[in-house]
């Protein structure tokens, strides 16, 4: 199957694209875009990969679903486009960044600048029906993103996985911790951030690890 995705990912994932489950997934997604309002816009489904070539990946942040309200989802987990109100979870991510590294809270919730430095902002499910959270779960996206996490864990060294909340932690339970740094904490949602997301110091830990392994730190 010919998927429009950044070339380094395409060559590595072609075997996955050719599997029967992925064809069924794409058939489902095409029908959903035809008959319903789906987010993100179709050309941004693989935006996380397009903005972060495979060999540039240093950090993987795992989200769950795209945002499901109008104008929010841009294919990068936790991120919204310039001019869109910053969602509550991202506000809390920014608060932790300020506490951890002294970075002033940005006016924009667009995290594309992270992607361009090697941060893969990976949702477990890459599409969603408008105003219907979880509506595209169980259709094959999870198998696809599991295969990506496994591929990165197995074939690369010294990556950093940020697993925020139980869902992301379950998603990353097979990551090889002998080869990679796995940082886990509660989710940044207002419902759970005070249970340990605040104060997790993940951003400074990530940069320290990158420097230790002769990689350029992230300008968060």
> Any idea which residues carry the catalytic annotation?
65
Neighbours of 124 (CB within 10 A): 20
d(CA 106, CA 97): 10
Q: Number of C-alpha atoms within 13 angstroms, CB side, residue 90?
A: 22
Interior angle at CA 206, CA 203 and CA 209, nearest 5: 150
Cis bond upstream, residue 40 (ω within 30): yes
Among 151, 171, 161, 172, smallest CA distance to 16 is for 151
Q: Kindly give the pairing relationship between strand 160-164 and strand 181-185.
A: parallel
């Amino acid at each position: 199957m010919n998927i429009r995705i950044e070339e380094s990912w395409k060559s590595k994932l072609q075997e996955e694209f050719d599997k029967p489950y992925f064809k069924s997934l794409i058939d489902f997604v095409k029908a959903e875009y035809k008959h319903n309002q789906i987010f993100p816009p179709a050309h941004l489904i693989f935006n996380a990969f397009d903005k972060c070539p495979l060999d540039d990946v240093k950090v993987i942040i795992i989200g769950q679903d795209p945002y499901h309200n109008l104008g929010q989802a841009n294919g990068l987990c936790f991120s919204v486009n310039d001019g869109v109100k910053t969602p509550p979870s991202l506000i809390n991510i920014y608060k932790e960044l300020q506490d951890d590294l002294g970075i002033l809270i940005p006016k924009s919730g667009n995290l594309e600048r992270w992607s361009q430095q090697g941060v893969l902002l990976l949702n477990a499910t890459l599409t969603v029906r408008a105003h219907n959270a979880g509506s595209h779960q169980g259709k094959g996206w999870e198998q696809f993103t599991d295969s990506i996490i496994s591929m990165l864990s197995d074939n690369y060294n010294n990556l950093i996985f940020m697993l925020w909340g139980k869902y992301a932690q379950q998603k990353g339970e097979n990551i090889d911790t002998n080869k990679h740094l796995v940082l886990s904490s509660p989710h940044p949602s207002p419902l759970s951030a005070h249970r340990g997301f605040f104060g997790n110091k993940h951003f400074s830990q990530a940069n320290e690890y990158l420097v230790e392994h002769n990689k350029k730190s992230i300008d968060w």
